[in-house]
Amino acid sequence: MSIFKAYDIRGLVPEQLDESLALNIGRAFGVFLKKGPIAVGHDMRDTSPGLTKALITGIQETGLGVVKVGLCSTPMLNFSVARLGFAGGIMVTASHNPGGYNGFKLCREQGIPISGDTGILDLESWVQREALSFRATEPIGSVSEVDIRETYSAFLRTQVKPGPRTLKIAVDGGNGMIGYHEYGFLQSVYPETTGLYLEPDGSFPNHEANPLIESNLDDLRKFVLTEKADIGVAFDGDGDRVVFLDEKGRTVMADLALALLASRYLQDHPGSPILYDLRSSRVVPEEIEANGGKPVISRVGHAFIKKTLREVDGILGGELSGHFYFKDFYFLDSGILGALKIIELLSNSDKSLSELTRSLDRYPRTGEINFKVGDADAVLKTIEGSLEDQGKTSHLDGFSFESPNYWFNVRKSNTEPLVRLNLQALNPEVLRERLDWIESLIGGVRSDH
C-alpha cells in the first residue's frame, strides 16, 4: 500500500520510508511549490531528525530557502507558516501512529493543507518518475532558523479569557508533542494543572498517542478521579487533536464539545456559520440553530473542513475525531486551542462538565463501527437500495440518510478495505433495530467477517 495517502505521507521506517525517499520528497515538494521559503518542523520520534535533515536537503536542491522551526507540534508548524508568511510547510510526524512509523504533513501558504486531491498524488508521481533524473540547482537554497514559541504563546494568550472559577485540570500528553511547549502554557494560565506522560518520547512507552481509542484514556480516567479534577484533557502525538473527560471520568464526545463551544461563540458572533462533519450528532445543528447560528455540514477530513470554513467565513468547526478549527487561528485546527476554549467555558460556569453536556447527549448512537469488506461500493449501493423509509439522502461523503426517527452515514475508508458506519436514533430500540438491519445487509455482501 502506498505511503502517499489522502491527507499526508506516512509509513514504517525504514521499510516504507527512509532518508533517501525523504530527500526525494523534499525535491518533489520544492518542484511542486515553486516558491519559498518553506518551514520545516518535526516531532519527537527517534527517526524524525534524520528524515528532517534529508527532507531539507531535498528542498534546498530545488533552490528554495528553508526555515527550520525545529521541535514543535503540528499546530505550531502551521501557525508559523500562517503568521510569518511562509510559502508552505512540512511537519515531520506520524501523528498518533506507533513509534515505528513516521511521515509528513504538508501545507501551502496560510497553512492551507495539501491533500491527495491537491498535491500529494502529484508528489508521488514525481518521485516515481523523475527522482532518478533530478539535478540540483545552483545555488542551492539557504537555511535559517526560527523559534516560534514566544510568538505562539503570545497569540494563545490573546485567545484566553479565564473565568472566575478555579479549576483542577488533568492532562494526558501521551508522550507526544503537547508536553514540549503547550502544556507549559496551559499550566501558566491554569496553575492547578497536572499531568501524565508529558515527556516527549517517540517510543510511546505508556500507551499509543491516540485518544480516540477508549483504552488509551484509562490512565487519565483514573487520574481525574484520584485528583478530583474538574476536567480531563488528552492529546494525540502531534497535538492537533484533543479529547475531553468530565469530572466523573467519562468521555465527552467531540461533537458534544463542539455544540458547547458553538453556544459560546455565537454569543459574540451572532449568525455566524459553524461547521460540523457529517458523522456528528443531530444535536450539533440543533444547538447551532437554537443559538442563532448557521450550521454547515462538511465531509470528513481536515482538508475539507479547512477549505469550507474559509469559503463560508465560518467562526468555528469541529470533527468527531477531536479536531477543532478556528477562524481566529487562520481557519486551522489546534488541540491546545480547543482545550483552552472548553476550559474557559467551564471556568465561566457554575456547572460541572457532566452537567453542561447532559442535555446534549440526548440521542443514543453506535459510535463509529468499522466493517471489513471486499467491495465497499457494493455495500453502499446495497444499503441505499434497500431503504424503504422516507427521508433525506446525501452523497457528500459516502451515503447518508436522515429520517425523523434515525439517521446514519456509511462511507469508505480512504486507506483500508473498510466501510465506516455512524448511526443515531431517537431511542435505543430504534437504534438496535436499524443496526441489526444494516449489519445484515453488510454481512450479505462482505467477504470477510
pLDDT at 191: 97
Grid cell listed for 113:
493543507
Query: What percent of the chain is predicted at pLDDT more than 90?
Result: 91
Parse the chain into domains and list their residue ranges: 9-148, 165-252, 254-352, 365-445
9-148 CATH choice from 3.60.20.30, 3.40.120.10, 3.30.70.260, 3.90.380.10: 3.40.120.10
Asked, as a colleague might, if the bond just before 49 is cis with ω within 30 of 0, I would say no
Question: Is it the case that residue 300 has pLDDT exceeding 70?
Answer: yes
What's the pLDDT tens digit per position in 305-347?
999 999 999 999 999 999 999 999 999 999 999 999 999 999 9
pLDDT at 388: 85
CATH T-level topology, domain 365-445: TATA-Binding Protein (3.30.310)
What's the pLDDT tens digit per position in 257-299?
999 999 999 999 999 999 999 999 999 999 999 999 999 999 9
Residue 327 CA to residue 155 CA, distance in Å, equals 13
Asked, as a colleague might, if the bond just before 37 is cis with ω within 30 of 0, I would say yes
The terminus-to-terminus CA distance of the chain in angstroms comes to 22
pLDDT at 196: 98
Residue 2 CA to residue 375 CA, distance in Å, equals 19
In this structure, the dihedral spanned by the alpha carbons of residues 137, 41, 71 and 138, taken in order and rounded to 10 degrees, is 10
CATH T-level topology, domain 165-252: Alpha-D-Glucose-1,6-Bisphosphate; Chain A, domain 3 (3.40.120)
Question: Is it the case that residue 449 has pLDDT exceeding 60?
Answer: no
Same fold, 9-148 and 365-445: no
Question: Is it the case that residue 445 has pLDDT exceeding 70?
Answer: no
Point out the catalytic residue in the list 48, 73, 80, 95: 95
Q: Is 95 noted as a catalytic residue in this protein?
A: yes
Residue 351 CA to residue 222 CA, distance in Å, equals 22
CATH T-level topology, domain 254-352: Alpha-D-Glucose-1,6-Bisphosphate; Chain A, domain 3 (3.40.120)
Provide the edge-to-edge strand list for the sheet that holds 324-326: 294-298, 273-277, 316-318, 324-326, 332-333
Question: Is it the case that residue 125 has pLDDT exceeding 60?
Answer: yes
What's the pLDDT tens digit per position in 172-229?
999 999 999 999 999 999 999 999 999 999 999 999 999 999 999 999 999 999 999 9
Residue 225 CA to residue 182 CA, distance in Å, equals 24
Question: Is it the case that residue 1 has pLDDT exceeding 70?
Answer: no
Question: Is it the case that residue 448 has pLDDT exceeding 50?
Answer: no
Nearest C-alpha neighbor of 181 from the set 198, 206, 193, 162: 198
DSSP assignment of 288-351: HHHTT-EEEEE-SSHHHHHHHHHHHT-SEEE-TTS-EEEGGGTTEE-HHHHHHHHHHHHHT-SS
Tell me what the mean pLDDT of segment 237-256 comes to. Answer: 97
Average pLDDT of the chain is 95
User: Does the reported pTM lie above 0.85?
Assistant: yes
What's the pLDDT tens digit per position in 141-169?
999 999 999 999 999 999 999 999 999 99
Tell me what the mean pLDDT of segment 77-96 comes to. Answer: 97
Tell me what the mean pLDDT of segment 47-60 comes to. Answer: 98
Burial class (CB in 10 A: 0-12, 13-18, 19+), 311: exposed
Q: pLDDT band at 447, cuts 50/70/90?
A: very low
What's the pLDDT tens digit per position in 358-407?
999 999 999 999 999 888 899 999 999 999 888 999 999 999 999 999 99
Beta-bridged to residue 196, according to DSSP, are: 172
Contact 63, 30 (CB under 8 A): yes
Asked, as a colleague might, if the bond just before 139 is cis with ω within 30 of 0, I would say yes
Grid cell listed for 241:
487533536
- Beta-carbon-side half-sphere exposure of residue 332 (alpha carbons within 13 Å): 26
| Count of Cβ atoms closer than 10 Å to residue 133 Cβ | 6
Residue 265 CA to residue 333 CA, distance in Å, equals 16
In order of 7, 37, 120, 143, 204, the CA distances from 106 in angstroms are 8, 14, 8, 19, 24
